[in-house]
């Protein structure tokens, strides 16, 4: 699955609806919600917070999928190419920030 095809699949899904994409602020609020659910799972799995019921169930994996999906919605709504975003983030890693951490 390429990033570009993932963006297309989300777009096809969104275009079934009267309002394909919410406003940037609304999608951002949704992203905040999904990151919050991921945070809860990380505290459950790697931290101190007991699950209310053991079968409550959603997992880190599922929450990461929801974060990615919401990020793609935001990108699509703004006609942003995530592939390009990723290339720039990697370039920054190898450029500006390359001596930020201790190498092997």
Instruction: Tell me which residues touch its own copies (CB under 8 A).
Output: 1-4, 6, 9-10, 13, 15-19, 22-26, 28-40, 42-43, 45-50, 60-62, 64-69, 71, 74-75, 78, 80, 82-90, 92-94, 100-104
Structure tokens at 52: 């209310």
Q: Is the CB of residue 45 less than 8 Å from the CB of residue 60?
A: yes
Closest CA to 33 of 61, 71, 78: 71
Closest CA to 11 of 84, 90, 85, 77: 77
- Least Å from the CB of residue 32 to its own copies: 4
- Least Å from the CB of residue 55 to its own copies: 17
- Least Å from the CB of residue 101 to its own copies: 5
């Amino acid at each position: 699955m390429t990033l570009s095809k993932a963006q297309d699949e989300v777009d096809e899904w969104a275009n079934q609806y009267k309002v394909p994409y919410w406003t940037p602020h609304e999608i951002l609020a949704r992203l905040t919600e999904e990151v919050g659910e991921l945070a809860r799972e990380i505290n459950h799995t790697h931290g101190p917070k007991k699950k209310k019921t053991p079968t409550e169930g959603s997992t880190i994996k599922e929450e990461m999928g929801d974060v990615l999906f919401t990020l793609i919605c935001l990108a699509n709504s703004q006609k942003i190419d995530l592939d390009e975003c990723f290339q720039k983030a990697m370039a920054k890693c190898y450029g500006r920030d390359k001596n930020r951490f201790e190498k092997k």
